[in-house]
Structure 1
């Protein structure tokens, strides 16, 4: 597929997990892709950026836009996780997660907007989460941040639709990423914890990063020109399905 041929894309958090899968898929479909990350690794067009620092973001976006010759697509994927109830995370951790997961999107979008306004195919895709639409145990802080991302996506879509900028988000279920792998490794019984996470999705398995990337690529594509203000669930049916217990 070459549905993104000639488009210029920025992916934050593009050095691993969902971001890496997205950057690779966008490139495969014809886009020129710049990766922004704390450590962009060996990305062909990588820029060091800390989304919690406005000066860092502005410098990286400007450099990426210069290298690409503009920006058509912004994928706001950078984010961090947190575990626990409201009693388990201190104020500093709340500030840190909200700063990265919510304000990180604000900073990157703010820096990219002048370039997106000049594009004939401008699209923003935010990585949200099933945690924005379903109550998950031990995820109070993370869920609060992703609930804010969902609301922010809708508000941004309303603000910029008349400028020709589409804004959508993807809501992944539990994705088989290095971050989830580290959570499993830290569990008392990693195998049992993985089995529980698999069972939480009606499909009976974790979502792959490539599956989320495919959804992001669709929303970024001109093929989705009439799609804005939408949250696309990529969660194995977790958000909408209520299955009866399997027969024993």
Structure 2
């Protein structure tokens, strides 16, 4: 996925009110922009960090700049939570996620469960239905190890329960963790930050939900799904 138009380099001043950030452009201009990530962004909001911005031209946007990449731990990290679904679709098309690319039809944002929408629904006359839920990952504390979540996510636990319900209804259900950084080689649940999510994950695995993680390759010019990396807790439930 190419960044078009090209990203604008800047220096992060602060991120605040969840939706906003201040930055200094290379010209010295100070700007306020929108932050397309309402999570904690733990470890990615250090003042003075190199960052890259999307700039929307025209229209009636109050803030034409949006935060896209932040440099942390000497690597570029994608923070835009609007990217993962498209990147996972690309990975499915390219055959990176087991047999998911062999389904005949793919739909987005289909209603299921209790007032929920599944990110990607795969359909096939022979294979049946496969429900694919996508989560964005960018948290890293230890070398080579991505972790999820980086804060409490009640909604994430609800999604795991609903995926388990789909398995018990006779369908396939897959949890995909899209890692928007290239300096990791595995993913682990951050159990101490959200024990309830970890418990929901364990229950989902026991019910037959599958899980996998996809690592991205990121440059200031593009972001692409690169390869699968192991999820330490899956064992027998890795995607095939």
**What is the TM-score when the length of structure 2 is the normalising length?**
0.36
Q: Which has the higher helix share?
A: 1
Q: Which has the higher strand share?
A: 2
**What is the TM-score when the length of structure 1 is the normalising length?**
0.35
**Larger RCO: 1 or 2 (CA < 8 Å, sep 6+):** 1
